[in-house]
Amino acid sequence: MSQHLKTPAQLADEVRNLGPWHQAIQITPDFNTSDPYSATGELNRKQNQNISLLTTLYEGFLDTVRPLYPEGLAGKKFLDCACNAGVYCFAARELEAEFSFGFDIREHWIKQARWVQAHRTVSPTDRIEFDICDVYDLPRRGLPMFDLTMFKGIFYHLPDPITALKHASDLTREVLIFNTQATWGKPDGYLKPGSEDIRSLMSGAYGLNWRPTGPRTMIPVFSWLGFKEARLIFYRQNPTHPDLGRLEVVASKVEGLLDGLAQYPSLYDLPE
Ligand SMILES: C[S@@+](CC[C@H](N)C(=O)[O-])C[C@H]1O[C@@H](n2cnc3c(N)ncnc32)[C@H](O)[C@@H]1O
């Protein structure tokens, strides 16, 4: 029986067995990976080991990438660092990416990504590879250069985030999308150390982590990595953890590629 003939009930059983999930991904016209957790329409964190199951990631990726590449990603290679269940690789494939590589340090997430790849019928899932990999091992993987790189939700899970960002940046020809947890309410311009529980599926594997104290912290970093232009998409406070914030920057090594993001301030020109 071909995979897509499984009923929503069978898909739901398999999704529950692979849980918890962080990324809601449409599998068939009438089944989404969030369905088993949202029978009443409310995402239930308790059933999901207290992990947030996010429903806006796929569309959010399309919204970010379309202004950068209005013609889509045909002929482009896409790298997703800490890919989790692979949602951005599937969205990149919808935009016709030539090849996508998603990696994550945890087998748990790569199993989900491969399951989605085998069962998703609403858009093609070929030309995508997933693998278990630590971001620090990237230089030893013999990977090609990528045009577009996603570095989201990983910077603040690393003991040496600049080295990891450099590994991803060294494999990037054009654009890098950077999204991290940050601190809020501290003077901008520093990395603040912290510690995290490595047993959590959503955490890093080392225990030590660093958060930027604001967007200006990242200016010398992106400049040193060779990004000629960078736009600050947002830096905002976390409403439930007021000492934390979230920061998103899109950076390009090629001048002019960020013209579609002209409404956002240039990171390099942020006032003191
Ligand atoms: C907060 S989640 C972000 C997932 C995804 N990037 C997103 O935006 O939805 C953090 C992810 O980073 C992965 N991770 C943590 N440390 C890593 C490392 N050293 N190398 C690769 N992946 C790592 C975790 O397993 C987890 O999937």
pLDDT in tens, the chain (272 residues): 444 579 999 999 999 999 999 999 999 999 999 988 775 545 566 667 778 889 999 999 999 999 999 999 999 999 999 999 999 999 999 999 999 999 999 999 999 999 999 999 999 999 999 999 999 999 999 999 999 999 999 999 999 999 999 999 999 999 999 999 999 999 999 999 999 999 999 999 999 999 999 999 999 999 999 999 999 999 999 999 999 999 999 999 999 999 999 999 999 999 88
Q: How far is the CA of 56 from the centre of ligand 1 (A)?
A: 17
Counting atoms of ligand 1 from 1, which one is nearest the CA of 150? Answer: 6
Pocket residue to mutate for ligand 1, from 53, 57, 105, 110, most atoms within 8 A of Cβ:
105
CATH no., domain 56-269? 3.40.50.150
* Residue nearest atom 26 in ligand 1 by C-alpha distance: 202
**Under 8 Å CB-to-CB from 13, ≥6 apart: which residues?**
none
| Structure token digits, residue 115 | 């399951």
Task: Report the pLDDT value the prediction gives residue 78, as an integer from 0 to 100.
Answer: 98
* Residue nearest atom 16 in ligand 1 by C-alpha distance: 204
- Cβ < 6 A, ligand 1 pocket: 22-23, 57, 82, 84, 104-106, 109, 134-135, 152-154, 157-158, 202, 204-205
Counting atoms of ligand 1 from 1, which one is nearest the CA of 54? Answer: 9
Residues, the chain, total?
272
Burial, 25: exposed, middle or buried (Cβ in 10 Å; 0-12, 13-18, 19+)?
A: buried
Task: Report the pLDDT value the prediction gives residue 38, as an integer from 0 to 100.
Answer: 73
Under 8 Å between Cβ of 115 and 14: yes
Q: How far is the CA of 53 from the centre of ligand 1 (A)?
A: 14
* Residue nearest atom 13 in ligand 1 by C-alpha distance: 82
Task: Report the pLDDT value the prediction gives residue 45, as an integer from 0 to 100.
Answer: 66
Task: Report the pLDDT value the prediction gives residue 2, as an integer from 0 to 100.
Answer: 47
Domain ranges of the chain: 56-269
Alpha-carbon gap, residue 168 to 174, rounded angstroms = 12
Compute CA 80 distance to the chain's CA centroid, rounded to the nearest angstrom: 6
Alpha-carbon gap, residue 165 to 135, rounded angstroms = 9
Q: Identity (one letter) of the amino acid at 192? A: K
Task: Report the pLDDT value the prediction gives residue 39, as an integer from 0 to 100.
Answer: 59
Predicted model pTM: 0.96
Alpha-carbon gap, residue 124 to 66, rounded angstroms = 18
* Residue nearest atom 24 in ligand 1 by C-alpha distance: 202
